[in-house]
Chains A and B, each alone.
Chain A
Amino acid sequence: MKEEFFVSGRNIPNIDPSLHIWHWQIPAYLFLGGLAAGILFFAGLYTVLGKEKEMPTAVKWSTFIVPFALAIGLFFLFLDLKHKMYFWKLYTVIRLESPMGWGAWTLMIITPLSLIWSASYLKELIPGWNWKFEILNKFEVFVIKNRKYIAWLLIVYSAILGIYTGILLSAFNARPLWNTSILGPLFLTSGLSTGAVTIMWMSKNHLERKMMSKIDLILIGIELFLITHLFMGFLASTEVQIESAQLFLGGAYTYLFWGGVVGFGLIVPFLLEVLELRGVKIPAAIPAIMIIIGGLLFRFVMVDAGQLTRYLY
């Protein structure tokens, strides 16, 4: 029999017996960041491709969600901070090695960008809208003229943001479950997928809907592939990672992950979308909502389960 325990100390709330420093705020923040990244990515993409006309929801209307998503996300991050009044210290230094810092700065850039972007379409959304100050009008003219360049920025920064939501976790190699380079692309894909279905859901344009649905099917495919890879990687790795994979292969998170995230959040909506594309009448909202819930759940599960995994020594 092996016995291992703390004789003293280490009975600290939220650290022992298992880490629980991050609660709902961080996964919600990661989810919103991913969603925003997804939407902005497509807005940038179709602008660069010159498809503003064909893809109006992707380029214009859906982006109105983004500043809100980012602001709420940042607020959640703020809620998570334990030393809140020192929040501003985040912006006194640039620490490239810190994913947290990276994210803060990415948000610092992408939030105004998204604001500017959607604002520049405000007159199209609300006819007769008038900027009160002349300078804003002038700025609007400038933005509209340079949309293509801004679109490039959006593509770059949304990709960074999307990857960041995964890297924030994977940078912590102390948590074996997170310690995998697949998490970045996986969260990026998931973010793009939630963005895509949001556009699909909002879109009134049949062709645009079809387009986003097709893209989403590809994204779901990639996601499933990455998830398979994730587990193959774990099982071929160190003891701690094998153990962390067990959380999903018979352990506490098995049902939630395979039933909730993969089944409810990926495979069922995938099938629904395929049927839709084949002409079966299914409201776009249904797969969209399932994917969004799935994406949210995914982040909750990963953040929660990751904190349970640790090094053995």
Chain B
Amino acid sequence: MSSRRDFIKITSVGGAGLFAAGNVAAKYFNPGKNMKGTIQRTPTYCEVCFWKCSGWAHTNENGELWKVVGNKKDPLCNGRLCPRGSGGIGMYNDPDRLKSPMIRIEERGKQVFKEVTWHKALEYVAQKMEALKEKHGAESLALFNHGSGGKHFSNLVKAFGSTNIVAPSYAQCRGPREAAWIATFGTAVNAPEPTDIKNTNCLVLIGSHIGENMHNTQVQEMSEAIDRGATIITVDPRLSTAATHSKHWLPIKPATDIALLLAWMHVIIYEKRYNHEYIEKNTFGFKELKEYVAEYTPEWAAGITNLKASQIRETAREMAFHAPSTIVHPGRHVTWYGDDVQRVRCIAILNGLLGSFGTKGGFYMQTKASVPTFSHPPYPQPKWSWKDFLDGKFPSAEINVSNAMIDASHPDNQSDKKIKGWIVVGTNLINTIPNTPRTIEAIRNQDLVVVVDTMPMEITGWADVILPECTYLERYDDLRVSPERYATLALRVPAVKPKHLTKPASWIVRRLGLKLGLQDYFNYSDFSEVLDWQLKQMGSSLAEMKKKGVTVVDRPESSLYLPKDEPVQLKTKSGKIELYSQLLEEQGFDPLPKYTAHPEAPDGFYRLNYGRAPMHTFTRTANNPNLSDIMNENRLWVNPQVAENHGLKMNQMIWLENQDGVLSEFPIKVRVTERIGPDCVYMVHGFGHNNKRLKRAHGKGISDTKLITRVAIDPIMGGTGMRGNFVKFLVEEPKKEVES
């Protein structure tokens, strides 16, 4: 009876056609019963990782969040979110969310958090910030950030007078590859990676475990490549999921990749499997390279990598056969052994030899929409910045190095450039930056630590003030502009009201700005005004974008690639692809990458390897009700032979101890599996939470970070190599030392 009317209402809202789930769902969403409104969809872009897929958040007839699905128009997701994106509703629904601002107080000799009003919390922060400025200068304030909130806070921190702004996505993540790419191609790889996987004939993955690393476009395009019968070559000590779908899996001995890469160059060059004309025209230093790799034969590499020389040869030929439609993937999380820039340099050189840069099926040329800046007064000029603190160290670091900021915050910092206050927005530094004890020492040395987060994570436990941000589904943020095949804009609009007392970062910084007398930098009352203004400048409007969610500016296919017959013109010293890097030479580093042997596991120890699980993002999703339902702990992958030697059984709970005597806080279940070789053990990063307020995640699995205490710093850009740690198995619960 009422259904016809409801139907009209529904279709007239959605246009594209929206509907309630049938069957069981009908029990809850029976139109007519409890029905207050209609199903709505609101554009958003996902914040469960940094791919930022655009999607639609759906709310049901009661205005409650129902589901988030991908936006078909968005080239970053093509209408398909990854499991974490689909589970994004759990971030909103998580009962353990931060609910109110909190201040740390001393109560009967114990430190406890007390809930306070926003007014009180911000007043406190503003006062402390002023005091900081007075005592140590505005520059002593550092902003650690990751994700959308960072932009709002950058505005605040810059207005305040500091440019010491840093994200873990450089020195703990993709920094080395950006430096390597700049040294070779004069440009960074940038994210999303411009890998033209959907058109490639040969994809080479070096420890890049796409499929577990769920960066959406990459996964989708790799699947397309599989459909087309493209060759996939995976180099990984572990049978990654990508490796299971590959034509060739090279189960390399960990930490020996450079040897393999040099041997590949050797085969391509000495078997003359490169395009002479292309090399001649576009590359710099071929002769030097050729001479240099003369001795690095597959037989040489075989002895180092535990691979077969024949397999090294065969895969090199296959890469060359498909060139230039061959991608040797630069990877993303590449901070492994401290010589990471040089390893990725090898990858860049290979791509140079194969001619894949700027070529269809290789690397396309990114483009990006430019968004007008909402007007604000110029930022004050800081007296010093992180560059000055580095003082010539890590010359290739184009952006700030998080671990250097920890150094600047640490009591052992001898320079006059000291960090004395932290604002931490959306990054769980305790589990993100290796060598946690040092991070904690740095925190203890601060006058003020403000943490802006959505969840009670480990880092919030170290805050003086906790400011609860609402989730991405409850707020406006900046327009998404990512360098991609096409210039796109994506909009984020709140689908539901912020739960509890949580607030968007845009609101928090504005309020804080007012208290600091910086109101001119926040010339809006609601952030939607900024978006509307920006969109109008670009000939659209907020109202129009709300209907579309994404705008894509088309571009002729030819412009995606470099013109074939003209020589490349790059921003390198020579303007060409630098097989021999003049930049690195000038900085005092090896212009041609060198293989160095890395320390090996002591007896009874195994190399600690880690990576991603497709259904989780770092530490942020471990407590997500939807995603922890899918996977609620990490397991330790152990080769059956190793397990037998140590008497380990499937699913047995064990503890780990690393080479420095550091113990895992919790036990971990053993997964005895043939998917890993005998030289390392593997676990997924992001588990082993020790904050008790994370009810679902607390004590589930263990934290890899805790066991990463030996860090190999890359001298070129400061990246933290994290894979040089070794663990042994403890079958009995170790006695814990009483914590001081």
Contact with A along B600-615 (1 / 0, CB 8 A): 0000000000000001
Residue contacts A-B, CB under 8 angstroms, 12 given: A1-B640, A1-B672, A1-B673, A1-B674, A3-B672, A3-B673, A3-B674, A7-B631, A8-B615, A8-B630, A8-B631, A9-B630
Contact with A along B631-660 (1 / 0, CB 8 A): 100000000100000000000000000000
Q: Give the shortest distance, in Å, between B602 (CB) and chain A (any CB).
A: 27
B631 cross-chain contacts in A, Cβ below 8 A: 7-8
A9 cross-chain contacts in B, Cβ below 8 A: 630
Give the number of chain B interface residues (Cβ < 8 Å). Answer: 7
A3 cross-chain contacts in B, Cβ below 8 A: 672-674
Contact with B along A75-117 (1 / 0, CB 8 A): 0000000000000000000000000000000000000000000
Chain B binding surface, main DSSP class: loop
Q: Give the shortest distance, in Å, between B640 (CB) and chain A (any CB).
A: 5
Q: B674: nearest residue on chain A (CB-CB)? A: A1
Q: A5: nearest residue on chain B (CB-CB)? A: B671
B672 cross-chain contacts in A, Cβ below 8 A: 1, 3
B673 cross-chain contacts in A, Cβ below 8 A: 1, 3
B640 cross-chain contacts in A, Cβ below 8 A: 1
List of 8 A-B pairs having minimum Cβ-Cβ separation, nearest first: A8-B630, A1-B640, A1-B674, A3-B673, A8-B631, A8-B615, A9-B630, A3-B674
Distance between Cα atoms of A8 and B672 in the complex (Å): 18
Q: A11: nearest residue on chain B (CB-CB)? A: B629
Q: Give the shortest distance, in Å, between B736 (CB) and chain A (any CB).
A: 31
A8 cross-chain contacts in B, Cβ below 8 A: 615, 630-631
Distance between Cα atoms of A7 and B244 in the complex (Å): 15
Q: Give the shortest distance, in Å, between B108 (CB) and chain A (any CB).
A: 43
Give the number of chain A interface residues (Cβ < 8 Å). Answer: 5
Contact with A along B659-680 (1 / 0, CB 8 A): 0000000000000111000000
Q: Give the shortest distance, in Å, between B643 (CB) and chain A (any CB).
A: 10
Distance between Cα atoms of A3 and B244 in the complex (Å): 15
Distance between Cα atoms of A1 and B640 in the complex (Å): 8
Contact with B along A3-42 (1 / 0, CB 8 A): 1000111000000000000000000000000000000000
Q: Give the shortest distance, in Å, between A143 (CB) and chain B (any CB).
A: 47
Distance between Cα atoms of A9 and B632 in the complex (Å): 11
B residues 423-455 near A (Cβ < 8 Å) are none
Contact with B along A209-231 (1 / 0, CB 8 A): 00000000000000000000000
B674 cross-chain contacts in A, Cβ below 8 A: 1, 3
Distance between Cα atoms of A1 and B637 in the complex (Å): 14
B615 cross-chain contacts in A, Cβ below 8 A: 8
Q: Give the shortest distance, in Å, between B616 (CB) and chain A (any CB).
A: 11
4 additional A-B residue pairs with CB within 8 Å, beyond A3-B674, A7-B631, A8-B631: A1-B640, A1-B672, A3-B672, A8-B615
Contact with B along A262-305 (1 / 0, CB 8 A): 00000000000000000000000000000000000000000000
Distance between Cα atoms of A9 and B673 in the complex (Å): 21
Contact with A along B667-698 (1 / 0, CB 8 A): 00000111000000000000000000000000
Distance between Cα atoms of A9 and B674 in the complex (Å): 23
Q: Give the shortest distance, in Å, between B24 (CB) and chain A (any CB).
A: 12
Q: A8: nearest residue on chain B (CB-CB)? A: B630
Distance between Cα atoms of A267 and B673 in the complex (Å): 48
Q: B631: nearest residue on chain A (CB-CB)? A: A8
Q: Give the shortest distance, in Å, between B37 (CB) and chain A (any CB).
A: 30
Q: Give the shortest distance, in Å, between B527 (CB) and chain A (any CB).
A: 37
Q: Give the shortest distance, in Å, between B535 (CB) and chain A (any CB).
A: 40
Distance between Cα atoms of A7 and B615 in the complex (Å): 10
Q: Give the shortest distance, in Å, between A278 (CB) and chain B (any CB).
A: 56
Distance between Cα atoms of A1 and B672 in the complex (Å): 9
A1 cross-chain contacts in B, Cβ below 8 A: 640, 672-674
Distance between Cα atoms of A7 and B630 in the complex (Å): 8
Q: Give the shortest distance, in Å, between B661 (CB) and chain A (any CB).
A: 33
Contact with A along B294-337 (1 / 0, CB 8 A): 00000000000000000000000000000000000000000000
Q: Give the shortest distance, in Å, between A7 (CB) and chain B (any CB).
A: 8
Q: Give the shortest distance, in Å, between A6 (CB) and chain B (any CB).
A: 10
Q: B627: nearest residue on chain A (CB-CB)? A: A8
Q: B641: nearest residue on chain A (CB-CB)? A: A1
Q: Give the shortest distance, in Å, between A2 (CB) and chain B (any CB).
A: 9
Q: Give the shortest distance, in Å, between B186 (CB) and chain A (any CB).
A: 42
B residues 352-391 near A (Cβ < 8 Å) are none
Q: Give the shortest distance, in Å, between B547 (CB) and chain A (any CB).
A: 35
Q: Give the shortest distance, in Å, between B613 (CB) and chain A (any CB).
A: 9
B residues 568-599 near A (Cβ < 8 Å) are none
Distance between Cα atoms of A8 and B640 in the complex (Å): 23
A residues 180-230 near B (Cβ < 8 Å) are none
Q: B643: nearest residue on chain A (CB-CB)? A: A1
Q: Give the shortest distance, in Å, between A11 (CB) and chain B (any CB).
A: 8
Q: Give the shortest distance, in Å, between B513 (CB) and chain A (any CB).
A: 44
Distance between Cα atoms of A7 and B629 in the complex (Å): 11
Q: Give the shortest distance, in Å, between B483 (CB) and chain A (any CB).
A: 33
Distance between Cα atoms of A7 and B673 in the complex (Å): 14
Q: Give the shortest distance, in Å, between B701 (CB) and chain A (any CB).
A: 15
